[in-house]
Amino acid sequence: MSTQRSPLVVVANRLPVDQVVAGDGSVTWRTSPGGLVTALEPVMRSNDGAWIGWHGSADETLEPFEDAGLSLVPVPLSSDEVEEYYEGFSNATLWPLYHDVVAPPAFHREWWDAYVRVNRRFAERAAEVADDQATVWVQDYQLQLVPQMLRALRPDLRIGFFLHIPFPPTELFQQLPWRRQILEGLLGADLVGFQRPGAAQNFIRLVRQRVGHRTSRDAVHLPEGRTVTAKAFPISIDFAAIDELARHPDTVARAQQIRADLGNPKTLLLGVDRLDYTKGIRQRLRAFGELVAEGTLDPDETRFVQVATPSRERVGQYQLLRDDIDRLVGRINGDLGRIGQPAVTYLHTSYPRAEMVALFRAADVMVVTPLRDGMNLVAKEYVAARHDNAGVLVLSEFAGAADELRQACLVNPYDINGLKSTLVTAVQTPRAEQAKRMRALRTQVRTNTIGHWADDFMGELRRVEPAG
């Protein structure tokens, strides 16, 4: 198969487009929502870049194609590989392990075999597509073996890797039977990026202890003379796009309508998450329910809206979580709700960006309390939507965003009493204090956008001299 070679190649689990099948069976492609596409699209266009990834349908092989001027190179996956590589090793082994073992990871050798096989397929595709001395940027935990495999195939390349989720401390990572293979896979890159400095240090410490290479503050020195840099590059959002959408008259009107539909409460609290056991949804709902039951929050004046986007519904832990949240919401509303006036409005569905921004504009208190999160962009999106300088952000100290958003009300989500106290503080924050905090938060997010993140990472990677 002949494929045009590119000087810049992005390798990710998914292509940045979703397949849309019309009633007549014709297929078109729609750009996926998400910051990564927004960040990389300009630099890819200016460098004739190619994006390698799975197109989302199992047991189907597609030729490379262009969409909206982007060169897209599909990698096929079989149904078994989707089950074992993606749902299995990526999301039932690595995901819980990297998120503080909030749920127990499963270790299955056949999942690992599939992970190796699929990573090799991605690496081989990247080796075919990359031009001489090209730059290749590999994305996230599903593809941690690709850098080493790709370097073996194409030692002339400049290779970067970015991990979007947390990287665990030594005592957790060492549970992984294939820990050395993962570390050596990442060491194939010239630059390994993380969300938080602590994650980069976890990686360097593990390489020193488990692989035995010499390390310095932010680097690993390999025996063959190559140096691998490991640093934090906190990801962000397209501030201007969300700010503009939040100011649109339709968004302002929709925010007012949302509050009216909820009975115009004095205080509206909002949670927006993928339905995931790492997001702390149970803990925040329990805290809110107790505050209402105790009379600290008045159910006639306070509403909680929880949006939980469906996620990984074929993975057992996620099915159990959905059942648990359904029961918890039912119990809270059964005990504390009124006719036509539930204490918690629970929405297990996906919404378009405009509706989400309207919800951000409507909410007085944004509750972002993951048990562990690489960054959490919802916190930054809420800030970007609040051009009125109103609203309070309650933020878990275990989210990467807590390193930057210091004017939020930071909280330990495992401490239910502390979470309750912080929610009360947020509800009672005077308007002047809200404005002071929100102005500082908006300055932070406005000056550190998704574009800055991409530029910082690519700038660091381009300082590497390619071999050959």
Q: Is 100 part of the annotated catalytic residue set?
A: no
Q: Over range 110-124, report the average pLDDT.
A: 99
Structure tokens that stand for 182 in this block? 């993962």
Out of 108, 164, 213, 387, which one is annotated catalytic?
Answer: 164
Q: Compute the distance between CA of residue 72 and CA of residue 124 in angstroms, rounded to an integer.
A: 15
Total residue length of the chain: 468
Instruction: Return the top range by mean pLDDT from 17-31, 310-324, 325-339, 397-411.
Output: 397-411
Q: Compute the distance between CA of residue 131 and CA of residue 123 in angstroms, rounded to an integer.
A: 14
Using pLDDT thresholds of 50, 70 and 90, give the confidence band for residue 386.
very high
Using pLDDT thresholds of 50, 70 and 90, give the confidence band for residue 468.
low
Per-residue pLDDT, 86: 96
Q: Compute the distance between CA of residue 181 and CA of residue 173 in angstroms, rounded to an integer.
A: 12
CATH 3.40.50.2000 in the chain, residues? Answer: 6-235+452-462, 239-447
Which one of 3.40.50.2000, 1.10.10.10, 3.30.70.1520, 3.30.465.10 gives the CATH number of domain 239-447?
A: 3.40.50.2000
Is residue 466 over pLDDT 80? no
Q: What is the pLDDT of residues 256-279, one digit of tens each?
A: 999 999 999 999 999 999 999 999
| pLDDT mean across residues, the chain | 94
Lowest mean pLDDT among 72-81, 414-423, 459-468: 459-468
Q: What is the pLDDT of residues 177-219, one digit of tens each?
A: 999 999 999 999 999 999 999 999 999 999 999 999 999 999 9
Per-residue pLDDT, 1: 43
Per-residue pLDDT, 23: 80
Q: Compute the distance between CA of residue 335 and CA of residue 359 in angstroms, rounded to an integer.
A: 26
Q: Is 456 part of the annotated catalytic residue set?
A: no
The pTM of the full predicted model, rounded to 2 decimals, is 0.95
Q: Compute the distance between CA of residue 81 and CA of residue 111 in angstroms, rounded to an integer.
A: 9
Residues in Cβ contact with 221 at an 8 Å cutoff, skipping those fewer than 6 apart = 213, 214, 215, 227
Fold exhibited by the domain 6-235+452-462 = Rossmann fold (3.40.50)
Out of 238, 276, 364, 373, which one is annotated catalytic?
Answer: 373
